[in-house]
Structure 1
Amino acid sequence: MTTSMSSPAMVGRQADLAWLEGLLEEARNGAPRTVVLGGEAGIGKTRLLREFTAGLGADVRVLAGQSVDLGEVAAPYAPVKAALRSLVAEIGPESMLEAVGPGRAAVVALLPELAASEAGGTPPQPSGAAAAGQLHEAIAVLLENVSRDRPTVFAIEDLHWIDVASLALLRFLMRALTSSRVLILLTYRTEDIGRGHPVRGFLSEIERDRWVERRELSRLTRAQVRKLARLLVAGAPADRAVEVPTDQIVDSIYRRSEGVPFFIEELIGIDGCREAGMPDTLRDLLLARYERLSEGAQHLLRVISTGGVRISHGLLEAVYPGSSDELDAAAREAVIAGVLTVDGDDYAFRHALVREAILADLLPGERGRFHARYAEAYEALSATGTRRLAAEISFHWLGAHDAERAFPATIQAMREARASAAYATAAQLGERALGLWEVVHEPERAAGMDKIELMGRTSWYLRNAGEAERALALLKAALVECPDGDLQVPRLLRDQALTLSSLARHGSVELLEQALERLDGRDDPVARELRAAVLVSLAGRLMLTGERRLAIEVSRRAFDLAVQPDVDAIRSASIAKNIESVSRSVDGEIDEAIAGLEQARELSEGDGAAMLRYWVNASDLHYLAGSHEHAVRLAEEGLARARAQGLERSTGVLLASNAVDPLIALGQWERADELIERGLALDPAAPFTVYLLRARLRSQLWRGRVEEALAGFRVARPIMTPVAEYERQARFSVGRVAAELALEAGDLAGAWAECAPLFDEPPLEPGHALPFAWVAARVLSTTARAQRSSPDPIEGDGEGDGVVDRARRLLEAFEAVAHWPTTRLWRAFLDAELADVWAAAGQAASGTAAAAAEASASRVALWRAARAEADDSRAPIFLAPYAAFRLGEAELAAGDRLAARAGLQAAFDLAETTGVGLVRLHAERVARAAGLAVGAAGDRSDGGVAAVRDDAGAEASADPALDELTARERQVLDLIAEGLSNRQIGDRLFISGKTASVHVSAILRKLGASTRTEAAVRAGALR
């Protein structure tokens, strides 16, 4: 119903359309994709989207929503609600809720009109990050389920007006919809996302995602402008005589429109192809159609522009001051003129730019009156209880400059945003209400709370929205304003401590202690409940910082207080018992700790947060004690519950990492990979991300993907460091994998530096310390062997800090935690590694052949013992092939080549069977250097000695001189080129220095070289 000049066909966008159709085909085949279309106003984003969706068959479902322009604080989830309501209209509320699954409560909170369809009433919704996570997960599950029936296009237009909550949801969906047939399609206006706009950061972030495609639409060329102009002329109404555009007219249109399709349509639609009278400015162009309308139609458009780009007929009737007949007549005139379009029951501006131009042309008085009418109309709609419209009411009363009526609407909008887990929007509205506090009469009565409580709530919203810095600043301001003896002071101090913890900063313990001091002398139930909560938070902090004895004492105090009859603090009681149990386990009281955790589980029944805390700590304790399969079961139970509660992105990620560690220990690499990649795709907070990144690096390393692990560590280190500095457990986890990677890279000094947490105070947590001590022993073993073959000794980091001194310190640290169930296993590996250190020290002291032989025999015996211990069910899967490899190495150094070949072959076979690629690589390297055949050549019956071809051995060299060298001489020549001495060559190839000297002499003779340097240079030239 329009006579506006609009081309019957798109021009210049065929490639873009084909691109979208190709991406939809990928999504149809189970590879979900996200498309982000950008471009300046009028470039054709909406037209392209409409052409794309119009061409889809009935087998594709389209769910579309458009962001609403409500200034700086947009209505929470407005475009998402519009898209979901279209799905409700299509499949019905019952089917909708069935498809959502466990997250029904979150979706009902978002769309209250679904409550009537929720059998048995609406279940309780979690709070904090749990609510937001549950909503995100629920919508992801919904889209996954409906896309199984039909491929689904989830389109959100005008991203530049989107609210922060919807943006966070989109970020989640883009990573979480990995097993769906969904194409997410987003559009935005490029000129409206300046510096500081949240969408700018969003776009920068998603560029790293391989499943995201981003494209900006370009302006039309002159040839395309000509084609579009002719199509517009051909499609002009019969009552309009429009001439075919001449080259002069095309040039004029091209110059004035700059190739923007909307402006081309406006220029031809307004003045046909006459150059005379064409508008000179953009404002004139946008208002040209509007200014040709009657006053009644212009008045209607001014009213509509105040309400937004799109407005329903029912709402327009409520705000329009004239009669229904006058409204219909004015609307018809605007539609015929091509300013408005009709879409179902809605009126919409043909382009947002026209609406913005009309809005800017409003007089101050009429702007205020129109806003007041909208506010009153929305209040009337809200009173029916079917829609949450407080954000719109607040916006329009502010536009009407009525603070007294805007303030309560803002408070209500804040509560509504909180109810739908839109914490960023709730925080913005809370800050708006704080800004109005001083200009409103009796704000406490209108808000239902005092200013300090509002500041505390707003800070909580900020923290849950990821704005911890702003939350901290607001809490500090609240503490300044709060009366010293008020009960809110300790609550604010506790909140400040929790906020600091979320930022991985120190100082939370001191703040919690201050909160307890402020509670001294208060014995009412509310104060005791708060004291119990503060004590639990303090005990948790103390446990994480390693002060376990104090953590036990504080958690017991919290438990005794929480179980008092008049204190409603069962969650605090469960978590207190949990913390006490985990802290007791550090002293070796494993059975007592497990019993205490089971008591915590019984107390936590019915409390999701406490139950998840049980699963986190119980799965971790069983893993550290070596019960890997039980640890996996517990972690996966907890992960399933976390998903059901919508907490997969937070606690769920922690539980995923708790499952990944024992899965790696069991050699179930693929299952571990799935959990790691799923967890990282959820874009969790840094403290949760660290554990997954660390697990992925360890998995890559032990599977032999060393370069990939090293590159990944360089990227991950900046994320890991702040968390490791704050959390002791993270410091151990990160330090251990960092030391292993540095060791593989040959950076022995760096590897030892990464072992520093082993010597920290207070005493170590044994479950983490024992395997870390083994890594440190590997560093010392490699260092001792390197010193033996190096002319320049590797120095320690200070006087008295040589390799032997370091080994003694390491043993002392190990003995301090030698009460753990896996001590015997790790002690066997520690002794075997350190044998190289003691042997190097003994040889340096005596220098006799007998001492060397005795040391070699000792190393073989120790590695046999370690290999036997590696068969323990508590041993990680990679220890058996590693011990077999080191045993073969020790036998080779002892001169038993037959046993060495068998040992290295066993290591190779074990590594192949278990997927421990790192050991396979090392076994192949050592065997190749020693001239032994393992792996594919392991079935040769040559007594264990085989010629090993290097890369040049596959075919004859270009120079006969190199062809005369044996495989062993080629190896020696490579080491000569590295500058190694005969002794160093012997150590590298497991031969004596004298034998190395014989090979060097043969090489010089065959190459006709008089010096080692000449031989190296000559060999390089020949190659």
Structure 2
Amino acid sequence: MSRWDDAPLVGRAEELARLLAQVERAVAGRACATLLAGDAGVGKTRLLDELGRRAAERGLRVLTGHCVDLGDVGLPYLPFVDLLRPLAADPELVPAARSNPVLTGFLAGHPGAVVPVPPPGEGLDLGRPLPHRAAPQPVDDGRLQLFESVAALLCELAAAGPLLVVLEDVHWADRSSRDLLRYLLARLVDEPVAVVVSYRADDLHRRHPLRPLLAELVRLPGVERLDLAPLPDAAVGDLVRGLATGGIPASAVDDVVARAEGNAFYAEELLAARLQGEALPLALTDVLLTRVEQRSPAAQQVLRIAAVAGRRVRHELVAAVGELGSGELEAAFAEAVHHHLLVVSDDGRYRFRHALLREAVLADLLPGERVRLHAAIAAYLAREPDAGTAAERAHHARESNDLAGAFGASLEAAADARRVGAPAEQLQHLEAALALWSAVPDAAERAGRDQAALVLETAGAARTVGELHRAVALLRSALQVLGPDADAGTRARVHYMLAQAMVRVEDEFGAYGESAAAMALVPADPPSEVRTWAAATHARMSYAVGRIEEAEAAVDEALVAADALGLDGAWSDIAVTQLRAKPGADPEWVRARLDEALLRARRSGDLDVEMRALFNLATVAFEAGRIDEALTWTRRGTRRARDLGGDWSYYAAEMRHLQVTALYMTGDWDGSLAEADLLARVPEIAAHVRADGLLVLVGRGDPGARERVDWARGLIPRLQAHILLDLVTAASEIDLAAWHGDAQTALDVAFAACRRLQREWEDDHLGVLRLVGTALAPVADAAATARREGDAGAIERWAEAGEELVAMARSGVEVYRGNYGDTMGVEARAWQARVEAEAARLRGEDAPERWRAAVEAFGFGHVYEEARSRRRLAEALLATGDRAGAAEQARAAHEVAVRLGARPLREAVEALARRGRLDVVGVRAVDVSAVLTPREAEVLRLLALGRTNRQIGAELYISEKTASVHVSNILAKFGASGRTEAVAIAAARGLLAGP
């Protein structure tokens, strides 16, 4: 049995629901049947196993029969013998079956044995007509008695209870079994029987004997066809992660998902081999090639040519490359199509039914044959340029060892990709050309540029697609290629481009060194484009490392030179740098400056600078609490980036991050999660955008949150410079621990993230506010529990840890103010208010005024955090006796939690409402008398006050033993393991008065 058989069923909810509906139809007394079609390995058996389990739980008797591939000598009725044989040993088998000699032989596994025909008037009624005209009338060729006996047996079994009959792999069924199946589906009408018949769709070639039977059966009333499509990629990913119990890298999951193409069996085999671009597992190769080897030599030749040509191939190419006559070629294509090895695409090209089939055919080719076919295809494409793309020519030339041809075609393919706005493909082709440079003697002549220029072009493409570490490596390579004696202006350009890339991977001091090197290579006078961009870049890097005077001088120089030379892109870049370095500047001036920067950037055609201007327009609005305005800018920016093929350029990714966050704040959680998961290919430098989806997953209590946290945690060690990914992940992980009441994990994660932030961002620690504000919640809860239990040691421990967090938050505010003055944004102020409110709760203070301040602070537009603060405000008001105020806040928090689908918050508010007997719509207070006797209620009240059994007995004038019995009854009713847990459960259910 494979691990797939034991894995949870994934991606088949809709199909299982349809089959279960058929089961319910049988329970209601109506016979029905489903013809379940799907390719080999797609998951038919796993689905039927789950159906059988569910049906058995529903009370149905499940009978399963299997067909086996026995070639041309199949055993008659084998699936039905398999299906009914277990009944032979069943002592409850209906007497009619035991007395029927036909069935006796059948159940014994001898369906073909000669049996005596019962005398007239005895045995079963064989004269009933078939109930449906759609089915052919039976011909009594000696088998009718057997058919009717099997049908009668199923009917008598169904009379004792509904029946599910499953026949698997009927594409291998013998003719007699097919005839019996036809008879049964026509015969069973009003009996509580559901029949499910599975078969491989990819085995049904045009002349397969099952095809006409299926066409006939689907016309019968009550018979449905269900096609099992390949699993969605997300479901295959879930399957792979579920099977890889020891964990598996995300890249390996992505590789398996891409190659399996929705086939569960393929996914399991690929996973077992831990493949990442390696050869196919031998077992899987054998399975795939078996179907190929059964075809004619001509069909196999067509498949070999098609495999080398690519996933899709034109008829003309195969005809030109192959050595087959036109008639033989047509027949070979027809054979491959009819046996579902190739399928015809909408554009008339042929493609392999599954990519792994092509891989298997390729792997089976001898090296010489493969090279020969690649060369022939490359020659054909060179003769017929309209027959393929430059990328295809480059591939075939490279595989046939024509390196010069591959080099030229790769450059042509890169130019084609650039023209259509496909920078990822452009990067791929440019890197291929770079790899061939040293192997092509006249590479510079063929390329029309030197090697350094090609490296710079490749680095630019890498920046556009967000591959910033790759861009840094390429730019360093360009400096090596140029050497110290190269033109100073060219070297300066590479240095400032390198600085721009390095700052985006958090290497600010390294970036400063590169921009300083650029400045040293070219003089300020006379002004030049290279010097202007060097100064613009150096100003930004100088600000980043705290060299303010040096930065200001570079700003002044760059602005004057950009105006004089008409360099709108450089002017825009330096203007944005200048205003971001002055956080306290007049808002009207900032907005006017950014508007002009955007206008000039658009005019210059510099996408990177345009994205930077748009991002800063969005950021300024966001920091001021104008969330809707921020979303207007982010939508404009991400749409513009998508139109130009730069979805994951640095600022486009940052705008998407801001958009996901802003949508989350406004309460559009569906939109936020969709935006986080919008694009399949996310470069590692933009991993925080995918991690942003944790905001919604954690807020909703989605089980998938843990998996996404683990995914992000797996990336962080490899992306040490990606602080934002660490912060996003840490904040979500803290919140996840908080909802689970795991104060220690929340503390550990918060301390680690805060310390890293303090270490990496010396001048701005405001990010600690959210981390601390979230982590304090479970810590304050733990301290409150310790106070209730009178555990002085725990109170001290949690208070000490919590106060250390509070000190970190306050220090972060002081550091920021010391560098930037009183310019904190509205969100930072809101988290500061949350920290102070949680600090009061940590000390055991109710402090409704602090929680009211937190509610007001988050009122700028952070819907969820405002509701969370209202929940705590309701608690504080309830503790001070303001029940009306508490109910008002609880109602407001509950409405938001329900609307957002924020299950943890909703449950917390509902527990508070029950505990405090607050009037909240949809929350019903539990009547104590419905759970506890009056005496048990009195005992519970005293338990909550910490009384011992002896003290309870004394106060209630009962014996200590009787008090102990009442306490035991309460624990049993609540399913609690101890007195403290029982009190906590009672409080959560509203069975205790008070907060």
TM-score, structure 1 as length reference: 0.55
- Mapping 1:552-563, distance limit 5 Å: 553=552, 556=555, 559-560=558-559, 563=562
Which residue of 887, 890, 905 maps to 1:905? Answer: 887
Instruction: Say whether the 8 Å CA contact 2:894–2:909 is kept in structure 1.
Output: no
Higher mean Cα deviation, 635-644 or 407-416?
407-416
Instruction: Say whether the 8 Å CA contact 1:653–1:684 is kept in structure 2.
Output: no
- Mapping 1:688-727, distance limit 5 Å: 688-694=686-692, 696-702=693-699, 705=701, 709=705, 712-719=708-715, 726=721
The letter for the 1-side match of 2:629 is H
Cα deviation digits, residues 478-535 of structure 1 (max 9, x gap): 433422132443444455556656766676525533542553338677xx43444455
Q: Which residue is 1:845 aligned to?
A: none
Instruction: Say whether the 8 Å CA contact 2:352–2:358 is kept in structure 1.
Output: yes
Instruction: Say whether the 8 Å CA contact 1:676–1:692 is kept in structure 2.
Output: yes
Structure 1 residue 626: Cα displacement: 1.4
Structure 1 residue 622: Cα displacement: 1.4
CA pair 624-731 structure 1, distance change in 2 beyond 3 A = farther
CA pair 786-463 structure 1, distance change in 2 beyond 3 A = same
Distance in 2, Cα, partners of 1:810 & 1:289: 70
Which residue of 595, 598, 608 maps to 1:598? Answer: 595
The letter for the 1-side match of 2:293 is F
- Does residue 935 (structure 1) correspond to residue 924 (structure 2)? The answer is no
Q: Which residue is 1:791 aligned to?
A: 792
Distance in 2, Cα, partners of 1:732 & 1:217: 34
CA pair 658-318 structure 1, distance change in 2 beyond 3 A = closer
Cα deviation digits, residues 75-125 of structure 1 (max 9, x gap): xxxxxxxxxxxxxxxxxxxxxxxxxxxxxxxxxxxxxxxxxxxxxxxxxxx
Instruction: Say whether the 8 Å CA contact 1:456–1:478 is kept in structure 2.
Output: yes
- Mapping 1:758-777, distance limit 5 Å: 774-775=773-774
Structure 1 residue 905: Cα displacement: 1.3
- Mapping 1:302-381, distance limit 5 Å: 331-332=326-327, 360=366, 378-381=381-384
Distance in 2, Cα, partners of 1:396 & 1:48: 32
Structure 1 residue 909: Cα displacement: 0.6
SS at match of 2:792: coil
- Mapping 1:156-235, distance limit 5 Å: 202-205=254-257, 212=262, 214=264, 216=266
Distance in 2, Cα, partners of 1:498 & 1:635: 22
Which residue of 573, 577, 580 maps to 1:579? Answer: 577
Instruction: Say whether the 8 Å CA contact 1:777–1:807 is kept in structure 2.
Output: no
SS at match of 1:726: coil
Distance in 2, Cα, partners of 1:647 & 1:821: 29
Higher mean Cα deviation, 529-538 or 609-618?
529-538
SS at match of 2:38: helix
Instruction: Say whether the 8 Å CA contact 1:965–1:1006 is kept in structure 2.
Output: no
Q: Which residue is 2:661 aligned to?
A: 661
The letter for the 2-side match of 1:684 is V
The letter for the 2-side match of 1:790 is D
Instruction: Say whether the 8 Å CA contact 2:492–2:517 is kept in structure 1.
Output: yes
The letter for the 2-side match of 1:910 is A
Structure 1 residue 600: Cα displacement: 1.6
Cα deviation digits, residues 748-790 of structure 1 (max 9, x gap): 6336514446756866659856666655775776576567553
SS at match of 1:717: helix
CA pair 786-415 structure 1, distance change in 2 beyond 3 A = same
SS at match of 2:863: coil
CA pair 1000-761 structure 1, distance change in 2 beyond 3 A = farther
Instruction: Say whether the 8 Å CA contact 1:660–1:672 is kept in structure 2.
Output: yes
Q: Which residue is 2:522 aligned to?
A: 520
Instruction: Say whether the 8 Å CA contact 1:540–1:551 is kept in structure 2.
Output: no
Q: Which residue is 2:630 aligned to?
A: 631
CA pair 732-927 structure 1, distance change in 2 beyond 3 A = same
Structure 1 residue 910: Cα displacement: 0.5
Which residue of 11, 20, 37 maps to 1:15? Answer: 37
CA pair 508-530 structure 1, distance change in 2 beyond 3 A = farther
Cα deviation digits, residues 247-275 of structure 1 (max 9, x gap): xxxxxxxxx99993443344xxxxxxxxx
- Does residue 612 (structure 1) correspond to residue 611 (structure 2)? The answer is yes
Distance in 1, Cα, partners of 2:206 & 2:542: 60
Instruction: Say whether the 8 Å CA contact 1:581–1:592 is kept in structure 2.
Output: no
Unaligned runs of 5+ in 1: 1-12, 23-42, 57-152, 157-170, 179-183, 185-195, 220-255, 267-285, 291-299, 321-326, 841-854, 940-945, 957-962, 976-981, 986-992
- Mapping 1:591-990, distance limit 5 Å: 591-606=588-603, 607=605, 608-648=607-647, 654-677=654-677, 679=678, 681-694=679-692, 696-702=693-699, 705=701, 709=705, 712-719=708-715, 726=721, 733-744=728-739, 745=741, 746-747=743-744, 749-750=747-748, 752-753=750-751, 754-756=753-755, 774-775=773-774, 785=784, 790-792=791-793, 793-795=795-797, 809=811, 812=814, 816=818, 818-820=822-824, 822=826, 829-836=834-841, 859-864=847-852, 869-870=856-857, 874=860, 876-878=862-864, 880-893=866-879, 896-897=880-881, 899=882, 901-915=883-897, 917=902, 919-926=905-912, 928-929=914-915, 932-936=917-921, 949=928, 954=930, 963=933, 965-967=935-937, 969-970=939-940
CA pair 361-1010 structure 1, distance change in 2 beyond 3 A = closer
TM-score, structure 2 as length reference: 0.56
Q: Which residue is 1:104 aligned to?
A: none
Instruction: Say whether the 8 Å CA contact 1:739–1:755 is kept in structure 2.
Output: no
Q: Which residue is 2:5 aligned to?
A: none
Distance in 1, Cα, partners of 2:39 & 2:762: 64
CA pair 947-530 structure 1, distance change in 2 beyond 3 A = same
Distance in 2, Cα, partners of 1:353 & 1:721: 34
Structure 1 residue 584: Cα displacement: 1.9
Structure 1 residue 902: Cα displacement: 2.1
Cα deviation digits, residues 803-835 of structure 1 (max 9, x gap): 886686467458656443648766655554444
Instruction: Say whether the 8 Å CA contact 1:305–1:356 is kept in structure 2.
Output: yes
User: How many residues end up aligned between the 2 structures?
Assistant: 715
Structure 1 residue 537: Cα displacement: 5.3
Instruction: Say whether the 8 Å CA contact 1:924–1:934 is kept in structure 2.
Output: no
The letter for the 1-side match of 2:620 is L
SS at match of 1:485: coil
Q: Which residue is 1:485 aligned to?
A: 485
CA pair 750-522 structure 1, distance change in 2 beyond 3 A = same
Q: Which residue is 1:282 aligned to?
A: none
Higher mean Cα deviation, 486-495 or 400-409?
400-409
- Does residue 260 (structure 1) correspond to residue 257 (structure 2)? The answer is no
The letter for the 2-side match of 1:597 is L
The letter for the 2-side match of 1:602 is L
Structure 1 residue 619: Cα displacement: 1.7
SS at match of 2:564: coil
CA pair 500-672 structure 1, distance change in 2 beyond 3 A = same
Instruction: Say whether the 8 Å CA contact 1:408–1:446 is kept in structure 2.
Output: yes
CA pair 803-657 structure 1, distance change in 2 beyond 3 A = closer
Distance in 2, Cα, partners of 1:522 & 1:348: 60
Cα deviation digits, residues 565-607 of structure 1 (max 9, x gap): 336x42232233223323322x465444333222222222344
